[in-house]
Each structure stands twice: as structure tokens, then as C-alpha cells.
Structure 1
């Protein structure tokens, strides 16, 4: 399980900056401290931690102008690369930039990172100043107003959102929206105002519905990825609530929590998929949902 968190304590920041130095400065023999600059106090910092609380990725964003946000210092632990964590931390930073009102994101990319940022919707604008006087970089830009840049396979994601709207109309009334899909992580969000109780917090039933739909949606998109078809039903769901939601309801499902044999569908057999959905209030973890879903093979009539 991976979670995006915001460093808050002095110990958090010590670990955060140590990680940045280890992956972004030490390989070029720069001393500790070189990983920091004059924007640290005005920037928003994010890191991804695993189930043991260990940092596996970091990133930072700050505003250059009211419309432009600069993304810097994205790093992923060597043991966790090529698992979608780069896209996950970048997506979180873009979300922060949007919340701050930015409509454009820029990043100064080294040559080895250009392919990554290009795949995430950035394009080269011009050559940027060398980093620390020696590392060549290109300035890359991305508009933050186009929803299709938020998600991998935007057509599938639109189909999923339309399916929810058409077959489960209450999702529209609850304000449940697909926020981001990277191929390994699905994030959905809901409107607090549309699900608020007399205590000013989100209804427990609404939280359960958000978690269930997120797990259902993850399976829907994974079936698309695997070029399989089936009818998804919830067999059992268990949720543990720790804190109320008072700000921004979010639900995140990571592919690492998904367990099941999708290949059974190729033999026209039903398959059980077990997964976990983490519920957050903005950046704070508030609940965990464990769902057991069944994917039933479609009948010949349904496949036509």
C-alpha cells in the first residue's frame, strides 16, 4: 500500500530532504544541503510512503506566478521504479497546483527524464539553465486545464464515469468523480457538501459508497487493460473508520492491493478479486476499505 502524504514534523522534513539528496544530489557527488534552495519555505512538499512508513518517492511544487506552477525534485526509490510512483507523485503535485489556481505547470527536466515528462503530457519549450552549473536541462510545460491530461486512457475513464452516471444515478447527486488514473492507481473524489451530515462531516454510508465505486472502477479499468470483459459485482465489503471527513473526500486504489486471477475469465469462469481502497480527507488517511468483488463472464448475448 502506498500513500501520498505531506511532511509536517521536523523529523518528516529531515527524512524528506535526506531522500532528495540521496537520489538527486549524491550520485553527482554534491554535498548534503545542495538538495535545498530558496523556495523550500513557500513550496508545497509531498512524498509517497509504503505500508511501513518508508519514503519511496518525493516531489515539490511552488508558484512562479498566479498562473504558473513549477514542479521540481521528483525522485523515486531505486527499488520501486517502474511501478507508477513517478506518475502518482506528479499527479499529486499537479493537483496541488490546480488547487492553488495554476493553469500551467513547468519543470526543468534532465535528459534522462524527458521521456517520462513527455508521457505525462509535458512538452519541451526551451533550454533551461544548467542545474548546479553542470547538469543540462530542458524546460517542459503542460497546460493544467485539459482534463484528458489528468488520466491515462481518457476514453476508458469517460466510459467509466458515464457508466456510473447512467446506471447508478446517485453518484451524480453525491458528486463522485474520477479524478486520476495512471494505470496503477485510481483516485476518485466526492463533494463533501452533497454528503454532509448534521455534524458537518461526511455520511459513513457515502464514504462506503465512494470506496465501493472506486474498487469497482479499478477492476473495470483493469479489465480494459487486459482486453477482458465481465460483469462486476460486490460480494463483500468491510470498512474501518478512524476519523471523520471534514474537508476533501478522496478514495485511492493502488494496483499492488489488487489480488485475483483475471485469466479465469478467458475460460468463461468467474473470478474473485480482492482489493483495498484507502479513504483520505485531503492528505489525511481516515478509513480503509477491503472489498471482495466477483467478475462474472458475459453471456454470448451480452458480448454481441
Structure 2
């Protein structure tokens, strides 16, 4: 039985990179150190050891953007190939990409690994690139997120996501994404890696931003539900922190927490909406946000 590990100690990483160099760079006569690149610090690394403690397989994933993850440096010791270890690694890296909110995963596969990635649902794209001399690499892509399967109104949610990214650029840099909308509950998620502090936990300011945008987004979607429009602004926001976030940042806003009368907008009057947002670390509640928002009428209200 083999188990996937996450390298954490200095010794783990020394052995991890040594194996990567031996498998992926030494055969091409590249010097030690060439196995590393500028993405190491923002990547998630995985490895497998044999019963003697020797590293026998490695792999890595990093985010190219808020929507795209890239799998790289997958390698398995020759004597252990054909035992499903590569599939185990890629599945583990895909799980990381899903948790980060990626919509697709890409990889630049060698000819020898095209069959592997094809069996895992990746599809070859037109064209190829060259890397490491004459070794050919084929770009392959796997779609891992279909908004319509998670969202009640995917077009509204897509508009909300785009509005965040275009008007609040930091939301994209933080990796904040809509995960689910049921009509009664809005769930958003953020990337921990993009909001991590020196203690290995999520910045308090990032947690506040995630909660605020989730509340703002719930009001945005409720306006759509009611056929109303208006300018949403935060009047006041308070958050109580109980525990640090060390895993998957999630925010939940339920319709039951909303308190206010949207109908005022139809009369060209502003309305006040109070709501609560629960902040989760994976499945653990770690903070509560209470917000007071104002929705200001616009010329389009009621149309």
C-alpha cells in the first residue's frame, strides 16, 4: 500500500528535488538546480515513498490563473512504474486544483505520458511545444468545473464573478470565486495560497474581504431574482474571528439571514439590507460576519 505525502521538512524537500532532478533533468544532462523554477513557492507538492522511505514518485501543481491549474514534474521510479502511482499523484494534484477553484487543468505531456493523461480525462490540444532540447511536449487540458452544474443561475453568477474581477481587481488576485448558488445560499471560496501570512494562515483582512464580497454578491443575486437593480454599498461590517484558517477558505450566506425590504427600490428609494456570512475553514466554522449594506436606486430600477 502506497500513500501520498506532502513534503514539509527541509529534508523532505531535499529528497523531493533530488529525485525530480534524477528523473527529469539528469537524463538530459542538465545540472542540479535546473529542476526548480520560479513557481516552487506557490505550488503544491506531492510525493510517494516506498516502505524503505525512499522517494519513488513526485508531482506538482500550481495555479496559472484563477481559472487554470498546471500539473508539472510528474515522475515515477522505473522499478515502480505500471503500479498506478502516477495516476494516484495526478488525482491528488487534481483534488488540490479543485479546492483552489480551478475550472481546468493543463499539462505539457511528453509522448510517453500522453496515454496516462488521456486515461485521466485530459484531451490533447492542437500544436505542441519543445522543451529540453528535442523532447516534444503536447499540451493537454482537462475541464474540472462546469458552472451550470453548481449554480442555479449560471449567467447571473458569471456576471457577478466578472463584476468582481473588473471592478475589484484584488478579488481575482485573492482567488475569490463563486462555488455554489442555490437561490437560498451563496457559497464562495478563496485560495489559501494567495492569502497566506507568515504563520501559514489566512490574512484577517482577506477573510473580511471574502465575507464582504459574499454578502455583496448575495444581494446582487437577490436583486436579479426580484427583477430589480441598484448600486450596492457597504455601510458597516463587523467580524468575529474564532480560529485561524489553515485549509480551504469558504464563505456561506443564507437567505434566512437577510433582513430588509427590497421593494423600496421599486419606489425609487434606497433600502437597507442586513445579513450574516459564516466563514469556514473546510467544514469548520471559524468566523462570523455581520454586514449592513445599502442598495441605492438607479435610473434602471423597475425596468
Question: What is the TM-score normalised by the length of structure 1?
Answer: 0.52
Aligned equivalent of 2:193: 193
Output one character per residue of 1:252-281: Cα deviation in whole Å (capped at 9) or x when no partner: 000000010000001000000000000000
> Counterpart in 1 of 2:150?
150
Equivalent residue for 1:272? 272
- Which residue number in structure 2 is paired with residue 220 of structure 1? 220
* 1:153-232 mapped onto 2 (5 Å cutoff): 153-232=153-232
User: What SS class does the counterpart of residue 291 from structure 1 fall into?
Assistant: strand
Contact 2:261/2:272 (8 A) holds in 1: yes
Residue 35 of structure 1 is matched in structure 2 by none
CA contact (8 A) 2:187 2:253 kept: yes
Is residue 247 of structure 1 aligned with residue 247 of structure 2?
A: yes
CA deviation string 1:181-221 (max 9, x = no partner): 00000000000000000000000000000000000000000
Alignment of 1:72-87 (within 5 A): none
1:282 paired with 2:282, answer yes
Distance 2:152 2:289 in 1: 24
Aligned residues: 167
Question: Which of structures 1 and 2 has the bigger CA Rg?
Answer: 2
Distance change in 2, residues 1:144/1:191 (3 Å): closer
Q: Alignment partner of 1:175: what SS?
A: coil
Counterpart Cα distance in 1 of 2:155 and 2:217: 14
Aligned residues: CA RMSD: 2.4
1:294 equivalent in alignment to 2:288: no
Secondary structure at the counterpart of residue 205 of structure 1: helix
Paired residue secondary structure (1:197): coil
Question: Is the counterpart of residue 261 in structure 1 residue 227 in structure 2?
Answer: no
- 2: CA distance, partners of 1:146 / 1:174: 21
User: Shift of residue 146 of structure 1?
Assistant: 2.3
1:266-299 CA-to-partner distances (Å, cap 9, x unmatched) read 1000000000000000000000000000000003
- SS of match in other structure, 1:235: strand
Question: What are structure 1's unaligned runs of at least 5 residues?
Answer: 1-65, 67-94, 100-142
The answer on whether the counterparts of 2:266 and 2:302 sit within 8 Å (CA) in structure 1 is no
Alignment partner of 1:201: what SS?
coil
SS in 1 for 2:159: helix
Contact 2:277 2:288 (8 Å CA) reproduced: yes
Does the CA contact (< 8 Å) of 2:228 and 2:302 recur in 1?
Answer: no
Distance in structure 2 (CA, Å) of the matches to 1:202 and 1:169 = 19
Deviation at 1:303, TM superposition (A): 9.1
Q: What TM-score does the superposition give when structure 2 sets the normalisation length? A: 0.52
Cα displacement (A) at 1:148: 1.3
- Runs (4+) of structure 1 exceeding 3 A deviation are none
